[in-house]
Amino acid sequence: MRLQGKHIVITGASKGLGRALAERFASEGARLAICARSPKPLEEVRLALVERGCDVIAVPCDVSDSQQTKAFAETVLQTWGHVDVLVNNASRLGPRVPMVEYPLNEWDEVIQTNVHGMFFLTRLFVPAMMARGSGSVINVSSSVGKAGRKHWGAYAVSKFALEGFTQVLAEEMKPFNVRVNAVNPGPMATAMRHAAYPQEDPAALRTPDQVTDVFIYLASDDGKGISGQSFDAATYISNPQVRP
């Protein structure tokens, strides 16, 4: 098992890609700390992971709230002492409307969750990685964070920010042997995708569990030396030897 004994944090783990990553990482021997806004779905995931024999910490947490992220990080670090991998997955979609019609409150909520939340968690967990001289940060991106498209508003802007954040942090972490990469999982059959494309047939899309290989690669020792890169999960699936 490639993640045996590794301490891994996953945000937004109650559904979709976050839940799929938690289940896949558990199958590879990882110990998990998961969070999500909604306590009930999060507890369901925790129980499912425990049934698999996974050592798991589950804390309800809205990553857009700096105090909640601090409480989550303190719980994890007091229990484990450090983390090996941080997956910044939690995000909000926001409305699909033209920029000039974008509601100010919705803009603030999307940016607060997708950008500030990523910053809050990274700032809390990465210092322990730096002290140990190892670690991996994986930021979940999107194709609209690389090429702008109409009506993607704050979500697209937030993912462009995520790509820049990844590059800046990767450069800063080079002396500490902490890897930082981004992954665009591509179209998946999730509730968020359905909200963005309600007319789309989910059966025509990959399921979240089908895009987890690249995350395993980056979380494991297989990805040593890889940092500051932006991966496309579909490319990795079709040819795992292809690197960005």
Q: Are 234 and 134 in contact (CB under 8 A)?
A: no
Q: Indicate which residue of 155, 197, 217, 236 is catalytic.
A: 155
Residues 244, 3, 44, 234, Cα dihedral to 10° = 20
The vertex-20 CA angle with 19 and 22, nearest 5°, equals 65
Tell me the C-alpha to C-alpha distance, in Å, between residue 86 and each of 34, 38, 83, 89, 206: 10, 20, 7, 9, 24
197 catalytic? Reply is no
Does residue 63 contact residue 90 with C-beta atoms inside 8 Å?
A: yes
211's tokens: 């895009």
Contact between 169 and 180 (Cβ < 8 Å)? yes
Phi, psi of 6 (to 5 degrees): -75, 145
Distance CA 221, CA 17 (A): 22
Q: Mind telling me the catalytic residues? A: 155
